[in-house]
Chains A and B, each alone.
Chain A
Amino acid sequence: MARDMSDIDILKMELEQLKKEVSTPREPVSKTSKDTMDWCEAASCTDLLITGVPDDKNPYKPEKGGWKNIMLYLHRNTWQTYCSYVSLFTGLKRLKLERRNRRDVH
């Protein structure tokens, strides 16, 4: 809708908005900055990125390679690993049979 408005309409809208804003109540920056700072300091103890989280409590800290993650990885991929082991085993068995057959033929 802003694209359909003519320049005059956009200017009128901005003008109305400016008239409203000139009379909004304002506080000095020294007061508001101090309040922001106090709030921030008070909340800093709850901010885990600043205080830091011990590795065993942080769900993201065990990186790929940590033993916890290996267990997770294995658990998730058990079926996959099982299938791959089975296929590997059958492949090896087939190879053995082929070699035996060749030997018999020779």
Chain B
Amino acid sequence: TCEYNYVLSCISCEPRVLSLQNILSLILFLLPASALTTGIYMIFSTKPEMATQEVQPNETLTNLKAESDTLKTKLEDERAKLHDVELHQVAEKVDGLGQFIMKTRRTLKGHGNKVLCMDWCKDKRRIVSSSQDGKVIVWDAFTTNKEHAVTMPCTWVMACAYAPSGCAVACGGLDNKCSVYPLSLDKNENLAAKKKSVAMHTNYLSACSFTNSDMQILTSSGDGTCALWDVESGQLLQSFHGHAADVLCLDLAPSETGNTFVSGGCDKKANVWDMRSGQCIQSFETHESDINSVRYYPSGDAFASGSDDATCRLYDLRADREVAIYSKESIIFGASSVDFSLSGRLLFGGYNDYTINVWDVLKGTRVSILFGHENRVSTLRLSPDGTAFCSGSWDHTLRIWA
């Protein structure tokens, strides 16, 4: 009551010396009042907000789904408008390919477990391959000699790549990072000592590739992102978000000035990205299962993809749609890897039924089947000069076909 009197006397304009004691008592009186009023305000303001928050999630989910469905149908209509002819109809006047005979010319034995990935060196002679037991081996394809061998600290090395200069290899897998090993001419040197960790992801590394120089690496990972790294500093230069599930494969556009790449993932989508801006330029979703492998057409205007739904499909980038499907009723196992021949006339697909099917890209027919592997074919790459291609398999061997 005495405080109340104080306040009244302060408010009434009686001249009064505001001593420190008076000010303190004034503040003490006002404090609980202000606390009470703010408390009442908060209670009244949050309740209606919380009520709308509970209703919001369901509404926005259905709204978003409906909006994305309408956009998808609109996109399909736009694409279908320009679908006036099929590729094999246009290619009817092209000569058919003659008898196609390819045999295993070399078998590279030495891996202790499933071969998961391989890459050619630009000198058309050396091959790097990685396997489930953590070993990365550099071979000479002409003589089948092993030149270097590195043991990675992790198993399931799912990605390996040769540097354009031929002086380094990059590999990665379940350790969630991409390591670069510089190769030296001295065979006795311990390569593992010079290892450099470049990329760091939050899930397994599924594919890696050097860009046109030794200095940058593009990686894709099970965490759904792709990333561009600087090898020297290990810095992240650009990251690419857009896949809704694991990204399994990637391929860079063939031209020297090209700065796009395509990636395929477990969300059945193949996305084309611009490396400088990090934006997804085009997206294709016609596969019915995970996309295991993507490869650009040599001209750079199209790309092919191989998937677990046992089909390979050709997508044209300028027409923005799928233009050909390579499938047969007798093929029920998924395609794990695809590659084009130098002219793009032939598409080689390695399948999980231990065979390699060779397709005529323009006519859409199968040219030949290659038997030889004793387990599923996991990786397939054409040599840089186009004279042969190498396939790696879960039967612990790599075969060179010519």
Chain A residues close to B by CB (< 8 Å): 1-3, 5, 7-8, 10-15, 17-22, 24, 26-37, 39-41, 43-44, 46-50, 53, 58-61, 63, 72, 76
State A40–B97 Cα separation when bound (angstroms): 13
State A28–B323 Cα separation when bound (angstroms): 11
- A33→B241 contact, CB < 8 A: no
Q: B386: which of A10, A48, A72 is its contact (CB, 8 Å)?
A: A48
Q: List 28 A-B contacts (CB under 8 A).
A: A1-B223, A1-B241, A2-B223, A2-B245, A5-B244, A7-B61, A17-B242, A21-B75, A21-B282, A21-B283, A24-B320, A28-B319, A29-B82, A29-B87, A30-B84, A32-B319, A33-B87, A35-B318, A40-B299, A40-B362, A44-B343, A48-B386, A50-B346, A59-B387, A60-B105, A60-B106, A61-B402, A63-B105
- B61→A33 contact, CB < 8 A: no
- B202→A1 contact, CB < 8 A: yes
- B72→A18 contact, CB < 8 A: yes
6 additional contacts, CB 8 Å, given A26-B82, A32-B323?
A2-B223, A8-B60, A14-B244, A24-B282, A28-B84, A29-B86
B344 within 8 A of A: yes
The stretch of B6-14, B22-30, B62-70 in contact with A is B62-70
Q: B316: which of A10, A36, A46, A50 is its contact (CB, 8 Å)?
A: A36
B321 within 8 A of A: yes
State A27–B385 Cα separation when bound (angstroms): 32
| Chain A residues whose CB sits within 8 angstroms of the CB of B267 once the complex forms | 2
B90 within 8 A of A: yes
The B interface, classified by DSSP as helix, strand, loop or mixed, is loop
Q: Mark B340-355, 1 if CB is under 8 A from A, else 0.
A: 0111111000000000
Chain B residues close to A by CB (< 8 Å): 57, 60-61, 64-65, 67-68, 71-72, 74-75, 78-79, 82-87, 90-91, 94, 97, 102-103, 105-106, 141-143, 145, 202-203, 223-225, 241-246, 267, 279-283, 297-299, 301-302, 316, 318-321, 323, 341-346, 361-362, 385-388, 400, 402
- B344→A39 contact, CB < 8 A: yes
Q: B225: which of A2, A26, A43 is its contact (CB, 8 Å)?
A: A2
Chain A residue nearest to B103 in the complex (CB): A63
